[in-house]
Amino acid sequence: MCNSKIDGRPVLQPAINSFSAALDPPKSMKKPSSPPAMAVLKRGNDTDGLNSSGEKPPTPRSAAAKPPIVVRKKSKKVFAGGLPGLEPAALTAAATTAGSIAAAQREQASLIQQQRKLRIAHYGKMEAKLQNKSVAVHSGNNGGVNQEEKRCTFITSNSDPFYVAYHDEEWGVPVHDDKILFELLVLCGFQVGLDWTTILKRRKEYSEAFAGFEAEVVAKFTERQMSSICSEYGIEQGRVRAVVDNANRILQITKDFSSLDKYFWSFVNYRPLNPNYKTCRKIPAKTSKSESISKDLVRRGFRSVGPTVVHSFMQAAGLTNDHLLSCPRHHHLLSLH
pLDDT digits (tens, 9 = 90+) for 107-164: 777 777 766 666 554 444 444 443 444 333 333 333 333 444 588 999 998 999 999 9
pLDDT at residue 194, rounded to an integer: 87
pTM: 0.57
Pairwise pLDDT comparison (90 vs 156), residue with the higher score: 156
**pLDDT above 90 (res 46):** no
Residues contributing to the annotated binding site: 152, 167, 323, 327
The residue-averaged pLDDT of 296-311 equals: 97
Alpha-carbon distance 263 to 178, whole Å? Answer: 10
Q: How far is CA 264 from the centre of its chain?
A: 41
What is the rounded distance in angstroms from the CA atom of residue 68 to the CA atom of residue 63? 15
Residues that constitute the known binding site for Zn(2+):
152, 167, 323, 327
**pLDDT for residue 74:** 47
SS3 at position 166: helix
- Domains of the chain by range and CATH? 165-336 (1.10.340.30)
Question: Per-residue pLDDT for 33 more than 60?
Answer: no
pLDDT value at 212 more than 80: yes
Residue at 263: amino acid letter: Y
Give the C-alpha distances (Å, rounded to integers) separating 274 from 112, 124, 265.
34, 23, 14
* 168 has a pLDDT exceeding 70: yes
